[in-house]
Structure 1
Amino acid sequence: MSRPGSSPNEKGVKQNGDPGGHLSVFTNAHTAAESPETRLWSAFKKDTHKRRVYLAGREYYSEEGKTFELCLVRKIKQQLSADPTLRPEYPSSLGLTEYIRRATEMTLGRSCQAVVEDRVLGIQTPGFTAAVRLGAELLRHCNDVCAAWCGPVYLSSPCDDSLAGIFQAAGIQDIREYYYWDDMQRCVCLEKLLEDLEKAPEQSVVVLSASAHYPTGADLSQNQWAVITKLIMRRRLFPFLLLPTQALCYGDLERDAWPVRYCASQGMEFVCAQSFSHCFGLYGEAVGHLLCVLKQSSLLLSVRSQADKIVKSLWAQPPVGGAHVVTTVLSNPAHLVEWQEEVKHIVERCMLIREVLGDRLRLLGTPGSWDHLTKQGGLYCHTGLNGEQVEFLSKRRHVYLQPSGCLNVSAINGLNLDYIVESIHLALTTSP
């Protein structure tokens, strides 16, 4: 109760509920612009049409339209939860030793010269994005030209929308693009790609997708990799490789990792950001890894110490649940065979969807060639549809693709295939 003659505000509580009358430190905060992916998902959720279809997701979807959990992974999770030897404790800042060893062997192979010479550093990270961020931080802190190095970093056009922001958050502001996807020919254009990299200043970082390029699904051939790596070495550029879905492109661990192994075989120095969340169905577990292949083993200790310092300022320790699952599979030959069979089934289903989608479009007489659908790999593909056609699909047909015309093929199933084919046909024959 207030004393006579006083008001409730005398105790420093203003009528607007602001204690002490001070403005919030967040008063001038501006609402961040929504990413295209967020806007698309918001539009889909508001759509009440009974036949709406979301083809822009990043997970693998089963024939029933649900995110897929591998049978083996479910079984191992149950086993681990009942294992009395696993105690809740903090891991090292750089992650679980056995996980790092298995992840490195899975990507580079046991006989890799860099591994034998002890000039490979593996670091467990909480997901793929964290691996990219750590790689960017290491480059900024360890670059041998200047302590204030801040780029340039070259990204493919198109690429994952979040990549530029990750490098910028690490203090690298000079972000540029190199030509990758040719909309007219519907394939990778090596000639223009090489032209752009030829102009890149020495010490530039070139971000390259090792397999299952996101969002196009179009990968470089082995011959193209040979040409590009020669240019990179001659121009003294630094490759930053991306491997977010190993085994989900070709259904073969070694084939998906071939570009990484090839770069290592050429004596190149590089980093490679990886994720095992996709290929193990561990979407909420954040299972990432960063590989650093160095020129000399003498550099290992200093790079490790830098990584340790950076990690402690970003996430302190990575989560271990998903890493235990991955380690259990990769260290057991029987589990490894079973896991590869499940992954192979996923890849075969995605390829079948590509073939059926192309065949149905041809049968309808849909304009254009659809051969590129089966030349791409992984979960994503570039349809070749332009912005107006993509907008027609969402506004008129309630079918949601990425603005670039890319889609997740696993989201297509027996229930929505005919509707999607019909919608794409209408987009190409009736939209402006």
Structure 2
Amino acid sequence: MGSIPATRSRFEAVEHKPLGGPFKIEAAYRSDTSEDKVNLGIGAYRDDAGQPWLLPSVAEAKKRMDLPSCTHEYSPLHGIDAFIEPARRLVFGAELDPEIAPFVASMQTVSGTGANSIIAKFLARWIQPQQIWLPAQTWDNHPHIWRQNAPAIQVRDYPYYDQKTCSLDFAGLMATLERDAKEGDAILLHACAHNPTGIDPTEDQWKDIALLCEKKRMFVVFDSAYQGFAFGNLDKDAWSIRHFATHPDLEFAVCQSFSKNLGLYGERVGALHIVTSRNAAPSVALAIRSQLVEIHRGEVSIAPAFGARVATTVLTSEEIFSQWLEDLVFMSGRIKAMRQALFDELVALGTPGSWKHVVDQTGMFSYTGLSTDQVAVMQEKFHIYMLPTGRISICGLRDANVKYVARAIDSVVREGKA
């Protein structure tokens, strides 16, 4: 009997997909052997020693959970109610939540990414908007999520960042949506601490956006990944969402993540909340949740339990919750202090241009205004790593490196002015 001839693998046509975005930057940083290297690409909070920080509130929660006796049973398909309910109240507030709770469909998700993915699939199946409008500058995963989970919905960009002024292009945003958005389209908005620009609309601008969305009957998707991180105040950081909720005919979703504000990055703790019209029967929210569960079951079946139990302990213990509020003030305060320190150093150096946007922006990230070429020089000459867009993570700045970073920025800006 002859031997069976070798056949080529059916997978030989599969193309290698290189790392992109912050993961590419992180890999380059790790391989750099320079003692001067600085990582301004990482999207996670770091302390002034450049190390991950375990929130004292989270540490206390884990102590009280009696971890050796914790079981690892399945949660309900929609998630852990003891987590979902306080998570919803955190978004909508103690006063508003009881009013709208009957009109909200909520479920636990695999962090904010899972919530974004589930709402994309849900809208594609049940609402079928023609277009989803994303900010021209947004989290680099947003376009991927919509193209993979809702390929029939066209991804469109609306203006967001004004390169010349390093500020919000509000006029461009409104004009584009007024002219090009179709009735029933979906739109994604960052609730606060916009990633990657660090620029949020003012309250008056939020009001105008809400009115436009209401007039166009747009379905709004809020990505809320940084509540408590922008101002160190949970209520202030949820203002945009709560304002939209005062419009009884506006229907929208909130993709909620606890990765940043609880430091539960790897535990993938999140929730999805869909707010229906207050004219809808309460049965509508129940039907929506059943369909969300159906989609989620086909994706991951059940969301992870451990991180959600940690979050539940923080959210439902008065003492630990108070400690968490202090943790948020501490983290947001360090970020603000580093913004101010970088701004002060650039001013002291007389770096050409205005750098006020560094302190005017909020949250973890800043669009510095540096060009792609200048970013390349920052990496090649100074071993400072950031995204090609000039976005930096303020958390990568420390007392020990902020002067060095400022001098490097000053150097590349002056070289570009020559």
Give the TM-score of the pair, scaled to structure 2.
Answer: 0.95
- Please say if 1:275 is aligned against 2:257: yes
Aligned to 2:395: 410
- Please say if 1:186 is aligned against 2:170: no
Aligned to 1:429: 414
- Please say if 1:60 is aligned against 2:45: yes
Counterpart CA distance in 2 for 1:123 and 1:81 is 26
Q: SS of the residue aligned with 2:189?
A: strand
Counterpart CA distance in 2 for 1:142 and 1:289 is 20
* Residues 274 and 288 in structure 1, CA contact (< 8 A), matched pair in contact too: yes
Aligned to 2:89: 105
Q: Of the candidates 57, 74, 90, which is equivalent to residue 72 of structure 1? A: 57
Q: Which amino acid aligns with 1:101?
A: E
Post-superposition offset of 1:403: 1.1
Q: Which amino acid aligns with 1:187?
A: S
Q: SS of the residue aligned with 1:328?
A: helix
Q: Which amino acid aligns with 1:279?
A: N
- Please say if 1:87 is aligned against 2:67: no
* Residues 267 and 307 in structure 2, CA contact (< 8 A), matched pair in contact too: yes
Q: Of the candidates 175, 178, 181, which is equivalent to residue 155 of structure 2? A: 175
What per-residue deviation string (whole Å, max 9, x for no partner) do you get for residues 299-349 of structure 1? 112211211110110000000111111111111111111110011011111
Q: CA 1:401–1:117 in structure 2 vs 1: closer, same or farther (change >3 Å)?
A: closer
Q: CA 1:61–1:113 in structure 2 vs 1: closer, same or farther (change >3 Å)?
A: closer
Name the structure where helix makes up a greater proportion of residues.
2
**Structural mapping, 1:12-411, within 5 Å:** 12=4, 21-82=6-67, 84=69, 86-112=70-96, 115-116=99-100, 118-143=102-127, 149=128, 151-172=130-151, 173-198=153-178, 199-267=180-248, 268-295=250-277, 296=280, 297-411=282-396
Structure 2 residues not aligned, in runs of 5+: none
Q: SS of the residue aligned with 2:222?
A: strand
Aligned to 1:18: none
* Residues 187 and 372 in structure 1, CA contact (< 8 A), matched pair in contact too: yes
Q: CA 1:212–1:117 in structure 2 vs 1: closer, same or farther (change >3 Å)?
A: closer
Post-superposition offset of 1:138: 1.1
Question: Which has the larger displacement, 222-231 or 106-115?
Answer: 106-115
Post-superposition offset of 1:150: 5.9
Post-superposition offset of 1:225: 0.3
RMSD across aligned C-alpha pairs, in angstroms? 1.6
Q: SS of the residue aligned with 1:78?
A: helix
Post-superposition offset of 1:115: 4.4
Q: Which amino acid aligns with 1:292?
A: I
* Residues 194 and 200 in structure 2, CA contact (< 8 A), matched pair in contact too: yes
* Residues 392 and 431 in structure 1, CA contact (< 8 A), matched pair in contact too: no
Counterpart CA distance in 2 for 1:277 and 1:302 is 29
What per-residue deviation string (whole Å, max 9, x for no partner) do you get for residues 168-188 of structure 1? 111235111000010101110
Counterpart CA distance in 2 for 1:211 and 1:253 is 11
Give the TM-score of the pair, scaled to structure 1.
Answer: 0.92
Counterpart CA distance in 2 for 1:81 and 1:319 is 18
* Residues 52 and 398 in structure 1, CA contact (< 8 A), matched pair in contact too: yes
Post-superposition offset of 1:41: 2.2
* Residues 114 and 264 in structure 1, CA contact (< 8 A), matched pair in contact too: no
Larger radius of gyration: 1
Question: Which has the larger displacement, 91-100 or 71-80?
Answer: 71-80
